[in-house]
Chains A and B, each alone.
Chain A
Amino acid sequence: EPEVTQTPSHQVTQMGQEVILRCVPISNHLYFYWYRQILGQKVEFLVSFYNNEISEKSEIFDDQFSVERPDGSNFTLKIRSTKLEDSAMYFCASSVGQGGEPQHFGDGTRLSIL
């Protein structure tokens, strides 16, 4: 069964540094998402992406965050200047369509900011 894949599985970064988290969505999916989950808390929506542009973003997704689909397979989340509070598990998800289509999640990247 096709899966969403994410790299790296764990990223440790100094505060203030830039990080890029990478995702390869399922190949026939058209809608892509990033979520984050702070340890022990619920999963929170960050951003959705369709047709090479952001379709919706949450209040968490401020100017320090950006997303990109640099080629036909990768989908990246960049945090320009990391803060301690960015430490979390970041999940990428994809779905084939919108409006009631299941989202499939990757295994996540655990981001630790020191």
Chain B
Amino acid sequence: GENVEQHPSTLSVQEGDSAVIKCTYSDSASNYFPWYKQELGKRPQLIIDIRSNVGEKKDQRIAVTLNKTAKHFSLHITETQPEDSAVYFCAASKPSGYQKVTFGTGTKLQVIP
């Protein structure tokens, strides 16, 4: 089955700096890659997603890139703020299998004021 690796497991940045989280996936049939932000004790919240027919997508301070050939995708957060502190999960799913989402292991981002 699908396996999603995520790095780093923890990331500390100064407020205003950029943060980059990287993921790889194993199943070339995966075509949908959501990113979730999870604050302590809360639900995973979808913050951005990308489909395999797109190489890059941006939404204000957040951008995702996808390299299907290498099976890599990344989350970029610019101008980080303390409220960006959370655990971020990348994920992958395929068009079949009723969209079972396979999550990465998570990155705990700490933005230092």
Contacts and interface: CB of A to CB of B under 8 A. Distances in A.
> What is the interface residue range for chain B against chain A?
20 to 34
Interface stretch (B10-18, B55-63, B64-72, B100-108): B100-108
Interface centre among B43, B95, B99, B101 (most CB of A within 10 A): B99
Contact of B89 (A31, A42, A48, A100): A42
Interface residues of A, number: 26
A105 B100 contact: no
B32 A99 contact: yes
A44 B89 CA distance: 12
A103 B101 contact: yes
B interface secondary structure, majority: mixed
B98 A55 contact: yes
Nearest to A105: B43
Interface centre among A35, A41, A45 (most CB of B within 10 A): A45
Contacts of B8: none
Contacts of A35: 101
A95 B89 contact: no
Nearest to A100: B32
Given A31-B98, A48-B99, A48-B100, A100 B46 contact: no
A99 B30 CA distance: 10
A33 B51 CA distance: 21
Contacts of B31: 99-100
Interface of B: 31-32, 34, 36, 42-46, 49, 51, 89, 93, 95-106
